[in-house]
Amino acid sequence: MGRREGLRILGAVAALLFPWVAGDYARFLAVEVLALALFAVSYNLLLGYGGMLSLGHAAPFGIGAYTVALLALRGGQSSVLVALPAAVAAAMLAALLTGLFVVRSSQVFFTMLTLAFAQMFYALASRWYAVTGGDTGLPGLPPPSLGPWTLSSGTALYYLALLLAGGGLWALWRLVRSPFGLTLRATRENPRRSAFLGVRVARVRLATYVVAWGWAAVAGALWAWNQRAAFPDTLYWSRSAEVMAMTILGGQGSFFGPVLGAALITVLEPLLNRLWEYWSLSLGLVVILVVFLLPQGLLGGRAERRRGRLGDVRGEGAGQRAGSGARSA
């Protein structure tokens, strides 16, 4: 384990020193990667651990972004300590309201309804001109403040992002390894048997859904501070597609797979955009290629091998099992 520890310390030091060696654009991109990594891991709580394929995860992301933007621009409140809890609370409330409809439904219904409800939030944001600014969104977001400090520099924002994304990843890591996380995986593997064992499947799913939306709102808030704006596009279905692509590219069967997927796609997007403007085509091809050629994602196979070594023998791949809920539900 000595080498692993060493690599970890090296990684932590590199992450802490990064903003001092990087330029403005690299810092901006790094905050983006951190926000989207947290976004993708929160998404994978649903997909990988809960077997719930959501196509509406843009909704909590956008709710987080819009909450901090509205508080700052309409309420004059840009303190992280106020805006962030407000963003999380708003997304969790929305998750509770829509979750009551979506979590009791089987896989296919779940997927369709998440897409439909997310588009509802998009329709609200893009049409409700009086509050959300409609199509133009809410540009000109002031930098967030933390106590007496204003986090106006890219470096300060980077550290905020590192703190929030790191904290979020740590909390989610603990969650999936807690008894609750194991119960969640049991409901994914076999909802009926879990119900026989006394697990309240719908309640476990709802709790997961609400938690995932809460962390996605943190990611959305970070993203808005980094972009200094919130747009209806933040909520558009293509963002849900993007986070799904990140997650399966990295591997939904592994905890850190989505982080890798988020980093790759975030860095790839500006590079590819320089070559041609058809980002959604590239993303779609990535999704299709992963589905056919790399169904476990980049890190999924590795997680599988490790589980095999630990003696946690399972018939099929973890990713494959995520889909099996549909048939039994």
Interface residues toward other proteins, by CB under 8 A: 53, 55, 101, 104-109, 111-113, 115-117, 119-120, 123-124, 127-129, 190, 192, 237-238, 241, 244, 248, 278-281, 283-288, 290-292, 295, 319-320, 322-324, 326-329
CA distances from 88 to 71, 156, 217, 303 (A): 13, 22, 5, 30
Whichever of 24 and 316 has its CB closer to other proteins, that residue is 316
Whichever of 170 and 278 has its CB closer to other proteins, that residue is 278
Query: How many whole angstroms separate alpha carbon 84 and alpha carbon 86?
Result: 5
The pair phi, psi for residue 229, each rounded to 5°, is -170, 165
Report in angstroms how near the CB of residue 255 gets to other proteins at its nearest. Answer: 18
Whichever of 191 and 220 has its CB closer to other proteins, that residue is 191
Report in angstroms how near the CB of residue 87 gets to other proteins at its nearest. Answer: 22
Whichever of 46 and 71 has its CB closer to other proteins, that residue is 46
Neighbours of 186 (CB within 10 A): 16
DSSP-derived secondary structure letter, 107: H
Report in angstroms how near the CB of residue 98 gets to other proteins at its nearest. Answer: 9
- Give Rg (Cα) of the chain: 19
Strand ranges, E, within the chain: 138-139, 145-146, 149-150, 229-230
Report in angstroms how near the CB of residue 38 gets to other proteins at its nearest. Answer: 22
Q: Could you tell me how far CA 136 lies from the centroid of its own chain?
A: 24
CB distance 221 to 65 below 8 Å = yes
- Which residue is associated with the tokens 């470096």? 155
Judged on CB neighbours under 10 Å (0-12, 13-18, 19+), 294 is middle
Burial 219-251 (b: 16+ CB within 10 A, else e): bbbbbbbbbebbbbebbbeebbbbbbbbbbbbb
Report in angstroms how near the CB of residue 65 gets to other proteins at its nearest. Answer: 20
Q: Could you give the 3-state DSSP secondary structure of residue 229?
A: strand
Query: How many whole angstroms separate alpha carbon 125 and alpha carbon 59?
Result: 10
Query: How many whole angstroms separate alpha carbon 199 and alpha carbon 316?
Result: 23
Report in angstroms how near the CB of residue 201 gets to other proteins at its nearest. Answer: 13
Whichever of 15 and 326 has its CB closer to other proteins, that residue is 326
The pair phi, psi for residue 251, each rounded to 5°, is 115, 110
Whichever of 121 and 159 has its CB closer to other proteins, that residue is 121
Whichever of 110 and 225 has its CB closer to other proteins, that residue is 110
Whichever of 130 and 271 has its CB closer to other proteins, that residue is 130
Neighbours of 143 (CB within 10 A): 17
Whichever of 113 and 160 has its CB closer to other proteins, that residue is 113
